[in-house]
Every structure is written in structure tokens, then in C-alpha cells.
Amino acid sequence: MTQINPREVASEQLKKICDKLGIEDEVYEMLRQHERIVIVKVPYHTPDGKLHVTVGYRAQHNSALGPYKGGVRYHRNVTLDEVKALSMRMTRKNSLAGLPYGGGKGGVVVPKEVIEGARKKHDPARIKTMEEISRNYFRAISPFVGVDLDIPAPDVYTNPQVMARFLDEYQRYTGQKVFGVVTAKPIELGGGRFRGASTGRSTAVAAREAANALLGGIEGKTVSIQGFGNAGQYAAKFLAEFGAKIVAVSDSKGGVYDPNGLDVEKLIQVKKETGSVVNYPGGKKISSDEPLFLDVDILVPAALEGVITKDNADKVKAKIISEAANGPITPEADEILVKKGTFVIPDILANSGGVIGSYLERVQNRIMYRYGAEREKKEIEKKIVENVKKILDRKDEFGGDGRMAAYAIAVERVVNAMKLRGRI
């Protein structure tokens, strides 16, 4: 099987939009290259007392609009090229959202048994190993991060507890009692009150706005969701509140379908209590992938990257796709969907509620004042509504391609900021 280099894909996407906008090759090169790459060794002890060393990365892509911003992921397959690609995506996401941030991303190579032992088995020894990895990684990158320099957040297999370790280690290392150096922290340490629901909220609001513009409204429109973790659950919850009908959901173990609609609160309860939506009482049992290809109005891919490819894109029947997951549609599949008339709300817009929530958290940390969940919720919604309108207004420039419209807006803002600074 041919391995796809994520950095090359990100560069190709950037080149495509630069060519479309008439941006010179020299400027494209400035946009493509990273401003700083940090590679650090991360020592840790396994429960048997043996010392091991792994590697950690922090890629800082572009700071024209402000400090670097992006998550840190833990995974056994983390690579430098992956982190580079994700930091380029964060530059576009932050720019499109209208945030005063550049793009950054981090990652640590962490063995599967350490992650699963800490997450699923709640093994105290593995949890201690995870804490050691977190502290040693963040101490190593501390000279290169800060509240006005680079502000990390959670990503794959990291969470508010990991951010609490990062914060504490940074304060120990630097002596600076600041809270805004990381975001998505526990509420007790200055975390946003709406942050946990923010990604699902933005995904749902983006779908609602597109449905209002293209389908005559959201009321009664059918929705299928692949992936029922945090983002998928909140997307389902909010879309149901907007009046949509959730007819199918799935997770890694399978799914459930009912054309008459599913009880979202019951689904969330079943998922929490049994570990999978397949145990939902009622409906038809389906595979994990079936929600992608059902005859629905709106599809929310909320699981993994690359689930819609050139080999199956023709099976997609949804009229609107709101990407809760990062990169669920490959570039080749994108072209097929555009030709079919499917409107895709790209991940850098649909799931940007998380980074918008992180921005609001950092603002509150800086002024030492708490907004409350309702204000955070309203601020996120306002930005998403504005940005969906912007890509709808420009999609015809790009043959109906919502992703290209979003990329164009994002890249133009970064290029303008670089010109104003005299960098190009």
C-alpha cells in the first residue's frame, strides 16, 4: 500500500490555492516553509523501572497573524512530517476563523500500551509514565512556547489533565505564574467553561447555516454521523436541538440506523454506559462506515482521516458534509464530490469551535476574568455564522468548492499580514 506523505499533501493543497489566486512561486515557498522546528528527546520510565527515550516535536509554521497555536498529540506513529502538515493546517484554520494566531502543532511518539493502559485500564503505573512523558516533553519545549509565543492545546490522546501537567511544568521551569500558556485546561485551572462542547457546536452551527442557505432550512433534515466521540455526540445534540433528524450514528464497533430518527440523549447514555452505540435499543444495526453512504441531507464525519476516498466518494449521497474530523475526505474524493454538487464545509471551518474556544480561554486568562459558558457559546456561534457566509459567498469562484473558498480566504489573510510586516 502506498504511503501518503501528509506534508506533501498539505504543500500540494497550498500550491493549488496559490496558483488559483495568482500568488507568486516565491511567496508560495515562504508560505510552505516552517519558521521553526523543535525536536526534543523525552525520557521516561516504564512500570518495570526501565528507562526509555522517545522523541517529541513542535512545528511552528507561520506567525504573521500572531503567536503559534495548535494541539499536541500522543501516538505511536507520530512523525515530523505529520506534525509539519498539521501545523500548516492550523495556520489556515486560525486565519479563516479570524483569530490573532499563527499555526503550530506538536506530537510525541508514545507506545500504544502506555496510552491504552492509562486511558482504558486506568493503570496507576501507566498513568505515572504518561505524566512523566508529559512533564519531560513540555519542560524540553518550554523555551519555545509562551502566552505570546506559542500556545499548545490537546489533540489525539491528550486531554485537559495533560494540559494541567504542561501548565504546572511550565510554571516550575520558568517561574512564571501564567495560565494562558496552554488552553483547554481543567476549569479549575482557568479552562473555558464551554470548551468541551465547542467543536461539536461549531460543526452543528456550520451545517445549520449551510442548510439554511442551500436546503431551505435545517428543520426536519436528515443527518448521519460517523464517529460518536465528544465531537460527534455534541454535533448530534445540537443538530437535534436545531430541528434536524438524526437517523444514523456509528462508532468503531458498529452503528445504528432508524429513518424515523434516533433519540440522541439515549444514544449518548448508551455510549457512556456500554462503550458503543451498537447497544442502542431499537433501529437497524449497521457497520461503522455505513453512515457515510446513506441517503441523507447532511453527513458529519467525526471519526478518522481519509474515510472518504476516490474509491467510495461516488457512493456518498449527502447534500452537505460538515467535517468534524480532521481530513476525512481525501483531495481526490473532494474533486468527485464537487462535481456531484455536494457542498463540503471543510474541517478548518466546521471544527474550528475548539480553537475559537481556546482563544476565548486565553483572553480570559490574560485579563483574569471568567466569561461563563453562555458567552463563550455565543462568541463561537457568531464566528462560525460569519465564516460560513464568507465561503458561501465565494464558492462559485471555485466551481462550488467550499474547501477551496475557505483556503482562499485563509491564505489571503496570511499573505496580507506578511506583506504588511515586510516579510515578502
Residue 358: inside a domain: no
62 and 164 co-located in one domain: yes
Domain count, the chain: 2
21 within some domain: no
pLDDT in tens, 177-190: 999 999 999 999 99
DSSP states along 15-29:
HHHHHHHT--HHHHH
Among 146, 168, 191, residue at a domain's last position: 191
Q: What number of other Cβ atoms are within 10 A of residue 242's Cβ? A: 17
| Residue 66 sits in the same domain as residue 180 | yes
What percent of the chain shows pLDDT beyond 70?
99
Q: Are residues 169 and 228 in the same domain?
A: no
Same domain, 153 and 56: yes
Regarding whether 270 and 200 lie in a shared domain, the answer is yes
Show the cell assigned to 96.
Answer: 479563516
Q: Is the pLDDT of residue 2 over 50?
A: no
Whether the pLDDT of residue 124 is over 60: the answer is yes
What pLDDT band is residue 4 in, cutting at 50, 70 and 90? low
User: Is residue 44 a part of any domain in this protein?
Assistant: yes
The residue from 318, 351, 384 where one domain ends is 351
**C-beta separation of 321 from 344 below 8 A:** yes
Q: CB-based contacts of 223: which residues, under 8 Å, 6+ apart?
A: 207, 236, 239, 244, 245, 246, 247, 296, 297, 298, 299, 300
pLDDT (tens digit per residue) in 72-93: 999 999 999 999 999 999 999 9
Tens digits of per-residue pLDDT, 43-71?
999 989 999 999 999 999 999 999 999 99
**Contacts for 414-419 with beta carbons within 8 Å, 24 or more apart?**
414/31, 414/62, 414/64, 414/65, 414/91, 414/92, 414/95, 415/23, 415/27, 415/31, 417/64, 417/65, 418/27, 418/30, 418/64
Q: Are 166 and 232 part of one and the same domain?
A: no
Does residue 80 share a domain with residue 204? no
* Domain limits for position 114: 35-191
Ranges 223-227, 342-346, 369-373: which has the least confidence = 369-373
Domain boundary among 306, 328, 351: 351
Selecting among 105, 185, 221, 395, the annotated active-site residue is 105
* pTM of this structure: 0.92
Q: pLDDT tens for residues 155-180?
A: 989 999 999 999 999 999 999 999 99
Asked about 105 being catalytic, the answer comes back as: yes
Mean pLDDT of all residues belonging to the chain: 94
Mean pLDDT in residue range 244-250: 98
223 with 295: CB under 8 angstroms?
no
Indicate whether 290 belongs to any domain: yes
Contact 170, 142 (CB under 8 A): yes
Partnered with residue 284 across adjacent β-strands are 257
